[in-house]
Amino acid sequence: MIKRLFKFGGASVKDAEGVRNVLRVLQHQGAQDVCMVVSAMGKTTNAMEEVVSSYYKAKKSNSDQIISTVNEALAPVKAYHAQIIDDLFGTSADEVKASVDILFEEMFGFLAWNKSLNHSFIYDQIVGYGELLSTTIVSAYLAHQGVANRFVDIRQYIKTDSSYRDASVQWEETNERLKALSSSKELLVTQGFLGSDSNNFTTTLGREGSDYTAAILAYGFDAESVSIWKDVPGVLNADPRAFEDAIQLHQVSYTEAIELAFYGASVIHPKTLQPLQRKGIPLYVRSFLDLENEGTCVTAGSPLVPEVPCYIVKKNQVLLELATQDFSFMAEHHLSSVFELFSKYRLKVDLIQNSAISFRVCLDNRFDQFDALAEELEGQYAMKFQKGVSLYTIRHFDQKAYESLPKGSEIVLEQRTGETLQLVVS
């Protein structure tokens, strides 16, 4: 029976030594009753996005150089994975190289017959191969080292709608399919991030969606725990790259973790926590570099242990201000139409502030569609916007926390709600 979910991110399998360390984690923790969810290796997702971008531009312009363009974009991806295979398998690499070559041939096959100009559809069909490549290599390496395992194509089990790049799980069908896996006595090795729609086209669950995959499987398996293995000791109260003296949190409640995720904390994916909370499955965030450290446990109970302010920063946001052109009230029908446009262009709202005649929001332009939104709003409203702003959020803030923010930045918007302080700075 599968009782434990282990998720390994791209940093944990970025090179041959990382893959070897995955084996060490399994040897330390035990591989029995485990399902491993593995992300694409290193920065492969970024590289595959470049492949999609190059292909899309060539296809949209009816270029006759599509094949050479794709070959050029894929060359570093092939070389990167080939080097890892050589480092792991040495003279025994032929079989796994053949399996990886088949995956690259499948990519070319799709690009050869594809007639669609839907960028998100193309994105999902190509970028998802990053996870297929990594799990093919990891599964083969574990078997090579005597660890029996079963490679699972997760697209056969996680079914979604056709909202490419941010698909929604079809829970009833997914859980029914997962019953066939739950009784496995072998270590399972599968992909994060991926699913498939009713036509069996690949879908993705959004960037960093591998954490969510682990939660979906844990829910379907009625698992005892999920462990996310990272290169940090656990959940910290701040990003150490942006704030000095970050502190490890030993325990975080589901509710607090959902709040942190909503505001943009990057350690846990925003959608990961809901299925775990529904069944009371604890989530552990642990370091693959320090196996004796118990990391952070996300479960029911105290909001934070220890109780300290938590800092979150999201950069490259857009601050948008709208007002009616005749300076009449911003009424409900105005706001309704504006939010419909946010949904249409897939812009996430991270902060809202409104007055009688104006409305300001801080937007996460994650799909780079703000310019299309602005074009549609122009003429309907008096509009101002500022790109490249940063949104700072402090949960459980106090005066000392407020004073710890980076100096020299101009605060263009400030909002306090309960224990949460948000500042937009330019």
Q: Tell me which residue of 145, 123, 156, 112 sits closest to 54, measured CA to CA.
A: 123
What is the SS3 assignment for 405? coil
The reported pLDDT for the residue numbered 373 is: 96
Rounded Cα–Cα distance for residues 342 and 84 (Å): 42
Please count the CA atoms within 13 angstroms of the CA of 151 that sit on its side-chain side. Answer: 15
User: Please, what is the Cα angle at 236 between 231 and 239, to 5 degrees?
Assistant: 80
- Report pLDDT for 267: 67
Instruction: Quote the CA–CA distance of 202 and 373 in Å, as a whole number.
Output: 28
Q: Element (H or E) spanning 386, and its range?
A: strand 381-395
CA distances from 89 to 16, 38, 54, 276, 378 (A): 10, 19, 32, 37, 58
User: pTM of the prediction?
Assistant: 0.85
* C-alpha radius of gyration, the chain, whole number: 23
Q: pLDDT digit of tens for each residue in the chain (426 aa)? A: 999 999 999 999 999 999 999 999 999 999 999 999 999 999 999 999 999 999 998 888 877 788 888 899 999 999 999 999 999 999 999 999 999 999 999 999 999 899 999 999 999 999 999 999 999 999 999 999 999 999 999 999 999 999 999 999 999 999 999 999 999 989 999 999 999 999 999 999 987 789 999 999 999 999 999 999 998 899 999 988 888 889 999 999 999 998 888 888 876 876 899 999 999 999 999 999 999 999 999 999 888 999 999 999 999 999 999 998 887 888 888 889 999 999 999 999 999 998 888 889 999 998 899 999 999 999 899 999 999 999 999 999 988 887 877 777 789 999 998 889 999 999
- Distance separating alpha carbons of residues 309 and 388, to the nearest angstrom: 25
∠ CA 347-353-354, rounded to 5°: 110
Tell me the C-alpha distance between 69 and 60, whole Å.
13
d(CA 95, CA 90): 12
Concatenating the DSSP letter of every residue in 237-254 gives SS-TTTSSS--B-SEEEH
Largest Cα–Cα separation, the chain: 75
How many angstroms separate the Cα of 23 from the Cα of each of 3, 42, 207, 228?
A: 19, 17, 26, 15
Among 169, 242, 174, 255, CA closest to 209: 169
HSE-up of 156 (CA within 13 Å, CB side)? 8
Residue 214 phi, psi dihedral angles, 5° rounding = -60, -40
CA distance 100 to 366: 31
Question: What pLDDT, on the 0 to 100 scale, is given for residue 407?
Answer: 72
